[in-house]
Amino acid sequence: MLYGAVSGSGNNSQWPIRPGQQQHWFRSADEIIHISTPMSDAGEQSAQVYKARVGMVLHIQTLGRQEKRRGIRFVSVEEARYTGNAAKPGSIGIQNDLGFDIFVSVFSTLQNGDTSQYKVKPKCTSYWTRSCPESVFVGVGSAPGLPQAYVGRPGFILHIRDWRPNGAH
């Protein structure tokens, strides 16, 4: 089983692609597709981004150049991109700079903080009221989308951007 999410206008959520079957997305221009595998019992998971060309069928035989991980990757504060948000000093902002839907959960030190998972559409920002830095979990498309952990900082917007190593296509 694979999971795929396509950028562009339309549904950007992740959909299952069963072996030997097809999944279709309707787009008017070429886009990109995020393909990921479900997490194994050992915590391994892989993902790859491909060009998604209009009118063409992408055949996935192997995920040879994929990003492969065991467990959830932590993105350090130094690696992450933040912008200040003086208008909301008591909120952690999460901005989706990807072309796919992301699903976000922000932990809460306080028992009354909302820790539910929410969808953030491409080019949108959502906010969580928090009084101190918190752990943030983000998956592309949904949970199988190679989740990553970040530090959410009140008074800042965390930008979720391309997770691939520089130069990977």
**Residue pointed to by tokens 């070429």:** 30
* Residues 107 and 1: beta-carbon distance below 8 Å: no
**Residue pointed to by tokens 């000093």:** 89
**Residue pointed to by tokens 């339309």:** 10
Per-residue pLDDT of the chain (169 residues; tens, 9 = 90+): 888 889 999 888 888 899 889 999 999 999 999 888 877 777 777 778 889 999 999 998 876 655 566 667 889 999 999 999 999 999 999 999 998 899 999 999 887 778 888 999 999 999 999 999 999 999 886 545 578 899 999 999 999 987 654 444 4
Residue 128 sits at the vertex; the CA angle it makes with 94 and 98, to the nearest 5 degrees, is: 15
Ordered by where they begin, the domains of the chain are 2-70 (no CATH), 73-160 (2.60.40)
Look at residues 110, 103, 85, 92 and name the one whose alpha carbon lies nearest to residue 148: 103
Tell me the whole-structure pTM to 2 decimals.
0.76
